[in-house]
Chains A and B, each alone.
Chain A
């Protein structure tokens, strides 16, 4: 495959289940060797999209190609060239770790003389050396997840689809998992990954934010933080938080207010001008802000701002 040609091309893709539209006309391109993140809340249409790309669901409308093959008409050609890790852990619990690997090596037609080497490589990658004969169902979730990744990439596919690979996995295992993804991408593999963890999104080369079946923003994490938000961001530290939130939601010039941990994040037109005015406004309500300053937005801010903006429309 040409390194300059896109690995995944999606054009107006739609999936309806009866009256429910899960994916509502999305379009995007993923370049070869890119880590492309698909970010959105549960039920936004991430898994449905990834399943259509793997040929597991037939699109209702629009088209998409993976490695140059049409997802609706050439799913088998696609399956030869991809690795897929589904959202739910889906290896065989009653097989040993190495048996799962050998099984998938067989299904992917890994040449017989390479099987032992690849299985060993996958065990090493998953950190399962010495546990290869453990029954898969008894492994902790971080190990299971890495084993599943191992099974999906045994045949060295040029494109890998990972559907929420790290959900329910401890932070250290998650970190380790992302190191593996970066290693693969460095080797020229295209990685298409969905997540609802905002911190993970920062690890992606490019992102699509998806909400209710539509793409609400698309770009690198930096681009999104810089341009996708309308207005600027203020951090407010003020007790009691609930009363402060209620007051600030009605304050003049505040486009949006939301709780972030122990603080509030406000979206305003001009942070420098709004800060002193809001401090005064809070005082008139009998509230004292212990901190009130302009901050650069995180992806979460961008996401909340974009999705609430859409909900209002």
Chain B
């Protein structure tokens, strides 16, 4: 590799990016748009679940129970039904995710020491959500039922009775159980995938389409010099975008940053090398900008979005898919990002992930250099 040629190649590429308003717009706005979109748009928290209440009894106790739903952060009673069809309609229309029906003999049965059943109708279109709703519902009802029991025991003169077991939950790393904190670090991976693979996927294909490649390969420049020279500007841009994303995450969205910035830098650099190499390889093989950019998006953004653990927990995926995620570099990067932001995981514990990223980068870079030939056809 000659320093001269690398410099010439890199400088030319930089100038071209700076003069191409489209690339420049992607470089600057993509991190902002993705950050704001996911920071504000995606909310995995279940709060203020709309509830439809149908109280068939209308007693002191039945109203007590409903007030407990109202008092919980998780529920908001949005509709009070007068009859059963109105309940069904509320759930069917999607107005309410949960309907609570209290039987007409609710307080009677309780007074008689008999168990009373409260009906909960859950819209289970989103099964994960339905599970959460049922869990929260059970918790509200169980709390109420426990209190009733204590009252009853108190009347029996056993006021000193205490509940034998209780869970003292302490949430770590994301103390406020904020889904934003969980999502935002992963967005950095999406931004890298777009900047790295999408933009570079155009560089070689563009030269073939415009005919400049023929002139380029007639010179003594080596294929490694072409690749390195072309990728360096995107590498620098990618790291700047990582910094931009981190600043937005911490300063704007208040996501904690507990790890070391060197870990972030190292992992970002390795992940970038991988996606840059992937974009470059695609560009070399596709030779057309349209085909290359589509292939790049499908092969980097989609896995980074779906299979990286960014939104969807890998542990919840079927075994086959879990195995597939092992070859998705974004998986390791997202896991490192979450570690660096939320946990402050020391680099030593991330060594395996870092190694995976390094191996992927080395593989695609090697592949990309070999795929490129300084010949026409």
* A interface residue numbers (CB < 8 A to B): 17, 51, 54-58, 75-76, 79-80, 82, 84-86, 88-95, 99, 102-109, 112, 148, 151-152
Is the Cβ of B16 less than 8 Å from the Cβ of A94?
yes
Can you list 16 pairs linking A and B with CB atoms under 8 Å apart? Answer: A55-B375, A56-B214, A56-B217, A56-B374, A56-B376, A75-B374, A76-B220, A80-B220, A89-B211, A90-B212, A91-B215, A93-B210, A95-B15, A109-B4, A112-B4, A152-B215
Measured CA separation A152–B222 after assembly (Å) = 17
- Cβ-neighbour of A108 out of B15, B220, B374 (below 8 A): B220
Whether B5 sits at the interface, judged by CB under 8 Å, is: yes
Whether B7 sits at the interface, judged by CB under 8 Å, is: yes
Measured CA separation A80–B218 after assembly (Å) = 9
With A90-B214, A91-B212, A102-B8 known, 9 other A-B pairs at CB within 8 A are A17-B377, A76-B220, A79-B219, A86-B218, A88-B214, A90-B211, A90-B213, A92-B16, A106-B8
Whether B80 sits at the interface, judged by CB under 8 Å, is: no
- Cβ-neighbour of A107 out of B16, B210, B211, B221 (below 8 A): B221
* B interface residue numbers (CB < 8 A to A): 2, 4-5, 7-9, 11-12, 15-16, 19-20, 210-222, 374-377
Closest residue to A48 on the B side, CB-wise?
B376
Please name all residues of chain A whose beta carbon is closer than 8 Å to the beta carbon of B210 when the two chains form the complex.
90, 93
- Cβ-neighbour of B215 out of A17, A76, A84 (below 8 A): A84
Closest residue to A109 on the B side, CB-wise?
B4
Q: Which 6 A-B pairs have the closest CB atoms?
A: A106-B8, A84-B218, A90-B215, A107-B219, A88-B211, A90-B211
Is the Cβ of B218 less than 8 Å from the Cβ of A103?
no
Measured CA separation A302–B106 after assembly (Å) = 113
Is the Cβ of B5 less than 8 Å from the Cβ of A106?
yes
The verdict on A99 contacting B15 (CB below 8 Å), with A56-B218, A57-B375 known, is yes
Is the Cβ of B11 less than 8 Å from the Cβ of A103?
yes
Measured CA separation A102–B377 after assembly (Å) = 28
Please name all residues of chain B whose beta carbon is closer than 8 Å to the beta carbon of A93 when the two chains form the complex.
210
- Cβ-neighbour of B218 out of A79, A95, A105 (below 8 A): A79
The verdict on A51 contacting B376 (CB below 8 Å), with A99-B12, A107-B8, A109-B220 known, is yes
Would you give the shortest CB distance from A272 to chain B, in whole angstroms?
52
Is the Cβ of B215 less than 8 Å from the Cβ of A58?
no
Give the interface SS of chain B, mostly helix, strand, loop or mixed.
Answer: helix
Measured CA separation A80–B11 after assembly (Å) = 22
Is the Cβ of B9 less than 8 Å from the Cβ of A106?
yes
Would you give the shortest CB distance from B181 to chain A, in whole angstroms?
42
Measured CA separation A136–B289 after assembly (Å) = 22
Measured CA separation A55–B376 after assembly (Å) = 9
Please name all residues of chain A whose beta carbon is closer than 8 Å to the beta carbon of B2 when the two chains form the complex.
109
Measured CA separation A106–B211 after assembly (Å) = 20
- Cβ-neighbour of B220 out of A57, A58, A88, A107 (below 8 A): A107
Would you give the shortest CB distance from B309 to chain A, in whole angstroms?
40
Measured CA separation A237–B4 after assembly (Å) = 63
Please name all residues of chain A whose beta carbon is closer than 8 Å to the beta carbon of B15 when the two chains form the complex.
94-95, 99
Is the Cβ of A106 less than 8 Å from the Cβ of B16?
no
Is the Cβ of B12 less than 8 Å from the Cβ of A92?
yes
Please name all residues of chain A whose beta carbon is closer than 8 Å to the beta carbon of B222 when the two chains form the complex.
76
Measured CA separation A93–B12 after assembly (Å) = 12
Closest residue to B216 on the A side, CB-wise?
A107
Measured CA separation A92–B214 after assembly (Å) = 12
Would you give the shortest CB distance from B205 to chain A, in whole angstroms?
15
Please name all residues of chain B whose beta carbon is closer than 8 Å to the beta carbon of A86 when the two chains form the complex.
211, 214-215, 218
Please name all residues of chain A whose beta carbon is closer than 8 Å to the beta carbon of B215 when the two chains form the complex.
84-86, 90-91, 148, 151-152
Would you give the shortest CB distance from B13 to chain A, in whole angstroms?
10
The verdict on A105 contacting B376 (CB below 8 Å), with A79-B219, A84-B218 known, is no
Closest residue to A76 on the B side, CB-wise?
B220
Measured CA separation A112–B19 after assembly (Å) = 26
Please name all residues of chain B whose beta carbon is closer than 8 Å to the beta carbon of A89 when the two chains form the complex.
211
The verdict on A54 contacting B218 (CB below 8 Å), with A88-B211, A102-B8 known, is yes
Would you give the shortest CB distance from A52 to chain B, in whole angstroms?
10
- Cβ-neighbour of B375 out of A56, A106, A151 (below 8 A): A56
Measured CA separation A149–B233 after assembly (Å) = 28
Closest residue to B375 on the A side, CB-wise?
A56
Please name all residues of chain B whose beta carbon is closer than 8 Å to the beta carbon of A85 when the two chains form the complex.
215
Measured CA separation A86–B216 after assembly (Å) = 10
Please name all residues of chain A whose beta carbon is closer than 8 Å to the beta carbon of B377 when the two chains form the complex.
17, 57
Closest residue to B218 on the A side, CB-wise?
A84
Measured CA separation A192–B213 after assembly (Å) = 21
Please name all residues of chain A whose beta carbon is closer than 8 Å to the beta carbon of B375 when the two chains form the complex.
55-58
Would you give the shortest CB distance from A313 to chain B, in whole angstroms?
31
Of B211, B215, B222, most A-chain CB atoms within 10 Å:
B215
Please name all residues of chain B whose beta carbon is closer than 8 Å to the beta carbon of A80 when the two chains form the complex.
220
- Cβ-neighbour of B5 out of A82, A109, A112, A151 (below 8 A): A109
Measured CA separation A107–B8 after assembly (Å) = 7
Of B12, B211, B222, most A-chain CB atoms within 10 Å:
B12
Closest residue to A51 on the B side, CB-wise?
B376
Of B8, B11, B20, B219, most A-chain CB atoms within 10 Å:
B219
Measured CA separation A54–B210 after assembly (Å) = 20
Closest residue to A93 on the B side, CB-wise?
B210
Please name all residues of chain B whose beta carbon is closer than 8 Å to the beta carbon of A152 when the two chains form the complex.
215
Closest residue to B20 on the A side, CB-wise?
A94
Closest residue to B214 on the A side, CB-wise?
A86
Please name all residues of chain A whose beta carbon is closer than 8 Å to the beta carbon of B16 when the two chains form the complex.
92, 94-95
Please name all residues of chain A whose beta carbon is closer than 8 Å to the beta carbon of B4 when the two chains form the complex.
106, 109, 112
Is the Cβ of A107 less than 8 Å from the Cβ of B19?
no
Closest residue to B376 on the A side, CB-wise?
A56
Is the Cβ of B12 less than 8 Å from the Cβ of A103?
yes
Would you give the shortest CB distance from B12 to chain A, in whole angstroms?
5
Measured CA separation A99–B11 after assembly (Å) = 10
Measured CA separation A89–B214 after assembly (Å) = 10
Measured CA separation A152–B9 after assembly (Å) = 16
Please name all residues of chain B whose beta carbon is closer than 8 Å to the beta carbon of A109 when the two chains form the complex.
2, 4-5, 220
